[in-house]
Amino acid sequence: YSDPHCAPGRDTVVHLFEWKWNDIKAECTRFLGPRGFCAVQVSPANENAVVTNPNRPWWERYQPVSYKLITRSGNEQEFRDMVQTCNNAGVRIYVDTVINHMTGGYSGSGTAGDHFDGNSCSFPAVPYSNLDCNAGDVCHSSDGSIQNYNNPEEVRNCDLVGLKDLRLSKDYVRDKIAGYLNHLISIGVAGFRVDAAKHMWPGDLEAVFARLHNVDSNTFGSGKKPFIYQEVIDMGGEAIKMAEYFATGRVTNFIYGVKLADIFLRHTNQAKWLGSWGSSWGMPNTNDVVVFLSNHDNQRGHGGGGAPITFFEPKQLKIGTAFMLAHPYGFPRIMSSYHWNRNIQGGDDANNWAGPPHNNDMSTKSVTINADMTCGNGWVCEHRWRQIYNMVAFRNVVSGTGVLNFKSYGDQQISFSRGSKGFIAIVADGSHLNQNINTNLPSGNYCDVISGNYENGACTGKTIHVDSNGNAHINISGTSDDPVVAIHVGAKV
């Protein structure tokens, strides 16, 4: 389950959080395909509870009502069009799947118009009934919800924040979930993010995944299992460990973004130590993880998982992303967000619920594209920032090479090469780097893909000269907007 099924030479996934299927379809052809992205993580595709208090929060999509493909992102036909178009553009679709639970304990209707009553675990559009949710026979917490994260039984058998917990020990429930995932596989998706995986027994997940069909052989080759990455928040302090989930796919490595925020955002740790970055930092092996600086929860102070770097700190985000994409550890995911008005009250963001940009009827706004390639209508589109998409290409070019010549020039100044294909230098604080550095690259003139684009053999930014010994003069002011230089053999002028 740990092969992401990237088309050859691609290696980065972007989370197009809350995007509509039609917009993702367009983005695959006009941008993600040509720019070398491997895949898109899309928001949950199945019917969810319509929450009106607060009004249409993003998190309503984590409250399933049925497995019909009807949400604010679009309907099944639009979903199919997106998957097919993206596959044709060489871009994979991973669906965020919510299979641990259904809605909270109240009644209402879903985005496909189906009625539900969470209190009695009544979801007739699946159908699930009272027998399909966990109850007091297996959940022993005082109120049926999870209180103690150090008690694995409670974490797996009780309700996560009051969300009706599915009885995954039952074959009927396993069949229904596998039926939903197989439906997505039949449409052509490459894999799944498994929401709240920590709240399901690894053995139950095995039983569900054993029921899955192979992914489409025409697109992905024959005999291939879907790519599976499981959301397990394990910062080291709780009973449940990431390692329990390696048999059923990769896990989301939450330690990663926090440690990099310590260095690039808070400066409570030093970049000079990054020479050993990877599993020796107390993180799993590279092939067991998806790595990211932030996700849709912790970017808004939600859901634990630490305080990461987000688009609210654009300079640090560009630096951190450059490091993430230049370094071979893990399968990297970029967060692509929408704007909301942050309103910090006593440490919490009072607007952390705010849903995507919307019209008066609460339908999600389309993504518009500005002349400079950035997005409008309230969409941030971090993946369209030059410093970020050019590093996606960098990662593709240096693929298969290791980290070479890691050097530091003070606490927060580093450089390293990727074999003889790429070189990066980073200043993580306000200091000044001015050095002759061996890049290990063939001699020539290279386009610094941070300060500019490589277009038709020319560079719109700085050109870096590498001499016949592989040396280059690198001059970076840490107080500049982009204190990074990145060059690779795919962008020689």
Provide the annotated active-site residues. 195, 231
Tokens of 416: 């390293």
Could you tell me if residue 405 is left (phi over 0), alpha (psi between -120 and 50 degrees) or otherwise beta? left
> Which part of the chain contacts ligand ARE (CB under 6 A), choosing from 158-166, 317-325, 369-377, 393-401?
158-166
At residue 390, the 3 state secondary structure works out as: helix
- State the nearest-atom distance from the C-beta of 356 to ligand ARE, in Å: 14
Instruction: Name the DSSP class of 436.
Output: E
User: Residue with CB nearest Ca ion?
Assistant: 199
Residue 175 belongs to what H/E stretch? helix 171-187
Residue 465's CB is within 10 A of a number of other CB atoms, namely 12
Place of tokens 């998706």: 189
- Distances in Å between the alpha carbon of 182 and those of 177, 190, 405? 9, 11, 46
Q: Tell me: does residue 85 bind ligand ARE (CB under 6 A).
A: no
Given candidates 132, 165, 382, 448, which one binds Ca ion under the rule CB under 5 A? 165
Residues 218-237, interacting with ligand ARE (CB under 6 A): 231, 233
Contact between 98 and ligand ARE per CB under 6 A:
yes
Min dist CB 28 to Ca ion, Å, is 34
Which part of the chain contacts Ca ion (CB under 5 A), choosing from 156-164, 226-234, 236-244, 457-465?
156-164
Which residue in the set 69, 178, 196, 319 belongs to the binding site for ligand ARE (CB under 6 A)?
196
Nearest-approach distance from CB 233 to ligand ARE, in angstroms: 4
Cross-strand pairs, 437: 472
Three-state DSSP state, 434: strand
Q: Give whole-number Cα distances, 380 to 142, 169, 310, 312, in Å.
A: 42, 41, 11, 10
Number of shown-chain residues binding ligand ARE (CB under 6 A): 21
Label residue 31 left, alpha or beta by phi (over 0 means left) and psi (-120 to 50 means alpha).
alpha
Out of 154, 195, 288, 382, the only residue in the binding site for ligand ARE (CB under 6 A) is 195
> Which residue, 7 or 196, has its beta carbon nearer to ligand ARE?
196
Q: Does 15 bind Ca ion (CB under 5 A)?
A: no
Which residue, 99 or 212, has its beta carbon nearer to ligand ARE?
A: 99
163 touches ligand ARE by CB under 6 A:
yes
For ligand ARE, the binding residues in 272-311 under the rule CB under 6 A are 297, 302-304
β-strands 344-345, 331-336: how paired? unpaired
Which of ligand ARE, Ca ion, none does 161 bind, CB closer than 5 to 8 A by kind?
Answer: ligand ARE
Cα–Cα distance for residue pair 41/231, rounded to 1 Å? 13
344, interface contact from ligand ARE, Ca ion, none, CB < 5-8 Å by kind: none
Pairing of strands 422-427, 484-488: antiparallel
Nearer to Ca ion, 54 or 304 (CB): 304
Nearer to ligand ARE, 58 or 454 (CB): 58
The CA distance from 380 to 450, in Å, is 19
Pick from 356, 348, 277, 270: nearest CA to 307 = 348
Residue 59: contacted member of Ca ion, ligand ARE, none (CB under 5 to 8 Å, by partner type): ligand ARE
Distance CA 426, CA 224 (A): 39
Q: Which stretch binds Ca ion (CB under 5 A): 44-52, 110-118, 158-166, 216-224?
A: 158-166
> What minimum distance in Å lies between the beta carbon of 143 and Ca ion?
15
Write the CA distances from 247 to 6, 209, 223, integer angstroms: 21, 11, 18
Contact 45, 69 (CB under 8 A): yes
Establish if 164 lies at the interface with Ca ion (CB under 5 A): no
**Which one of Ca ion, ligand ARE, none interacts with residue 165, CB within 5 to 8 A by kind?**
Ca ion
Give the interface segment with Ca ion, choosing from 24-32, 193-201, 327-335, 413-421 (CB under 5 A): 193-201
User: Within 10 Å of residue 191's Cβ, how many Cβ atoms?
Assistant: 30
Figure out which of the listed residues 199, 333, 383, 488 binds Ca ion, where binding follows CB under 5 A.
199
Which spans in 223-266 are helix H?
254-264
Which of 466, 460, 461, 421 has its CA nearest to residue 443?
Answer: 466
Q: DSSP 3-state assignment of 19?
A: coil
Q: Are 274 and 323 in contact (CB under 8 A)?
A: yes
Residue 442 touches ligand ARE, criterion: CB under 6 A:
no
Q: Is 47 a residue that touches ligand ARE (CB under 6 A)?
A: no
Q: Exactly one of 76, 81, 153, 238 binds ligand ARE (CB under 6 A); which one?
A: 238
Q: Which stretch binds ligand ARE (CB under 6 A): 59-67, 269-277, 396-404, 464-472?
A: 59-67
Do residues 296 and 19 make contact, with C-beta atoms less than 8 angstroms apart? no
Output the six-digit token pair for 478.
């840490």
Residues 84-103 as x/- pattern, contact with Ca ion by CB under 5 A: ----------------x---
**Residue number with CB closer to Ca ion (160 or 187):** 160
Residue 490 engages ligand ARE in binding (rule: CB under 6 A): no
| Interaction site with ligand ARE (CB under 6 A) | 59-60, 62-63, 98, 104, 149, 160-163, 195-196, 198, 231, 233, 238, 297, 302-304
